[in-house]
Chain A
Amino acid sequence: MSSKMILVCDDDPGILEMLEFVLSDAGFEVISTVDSLQVMSMASRRQPDLFLIDLWMPVLSGDALIKNIRENADLADVPVIAISASQESAALAQRAGATLFIAKPFDIFQLSEQVSALIADAGSR
C-alpha cells in the first residue's frame, strides 16, 4: 500500500519545513507550498489524502482556501486540519469547513496521531 499524501500550506517556510520533517518521519508523503494560490492546482494533480492549512495567510486566506476545497467535487470529502495561532479562529475554521482545528504551537506527536486518525477515518467511509 502506497503511503498517504498530505498537502501542507503555510506562508512561513520554517514551519513548513518542520512539518515536512515530522510528517515524513511519521511515514507520510508530504507536498507543501508557501503560496496558498498554488494549493488547488497541486491538489487537482496529486489528490492528497489530507490538507494541513494555516488560516492566517496573505492574498488567499486559509479559510477561503478551505471553502474552495469544500466546493471542489473531487476534494470535498478530504479531511482538512486548520492551524492558527489564535484559539478564536476555531470557529472560523469550522465555518469554512475544516475537519479539525489545531492551535499553534502544537505537539507534533499529537498532530501525527490526529493526522493518522483522520486519514484512517476517511478511508473507512
Chain B
Amino acid sequence: MNLYAYLIAFLLIIPLQATLLAPLSRIGLVPDLGLAIISIIGLLAGPIEGAIAGIALGLYQDISSASLLGLSGLTRGIIGLFAGFLGQRVLDVRGPSTPVLFALFSVLDSLLTTLYLEMTYGSFPILRQLFSRMLPRAFVTALAGYWLLQFVMRRNVLGLIRRRELQKEF
C-alpha cells in the first residue's frame, strides 16, 4: 500500500466532493466519489486494503462532516472489504456488470447508515429515502465509479504505485 498516494487522494477527495460537486445537489444527483474510490481500491487491491482504505476515508469524512465518529468508517470499511472479496474471487472487473456493483455498494452503504440511525434515533423513513436519495445517488456513483475505474485501469495507476514500491524494496 502506498501511503502517500492514498493520503493525497483522500485529502483531496472530500474537499473536491464538497465544493465542485456541490452544485449538483440542486438536482439531487451528487456522486459519492469517496465510496467510488474505496470500491475501486477494494476491487483492484483486495479486501484488506479495501477495508483499511474504507475505514480511513470514512473516519476522515466523519470528522470533517461533524458526523458520529466511526459510522462512515464502519460502513465504508465493510464496503471496502466486500468489494475486495468480490474483486479477488468472483468478479472480472473489466466486465460490463461493474457499474451495477458500484450502485450496489452505494445503496448498501446508505442502507447500513440509515438502518443504524433508525435503530438508534428512530423515525427514519427507509423506503422513502431509498427512492428519494439512495437510488439517485447510487446511479450517479455507479457512473462516476465506472469512469474512474476505466481511468485507473487504462493508466495502470495501481500498477505504477506498486512498481515504485517494488523498486524501493529491491
Bound together? no
Interface residues of B (CB under 8 A from A): none
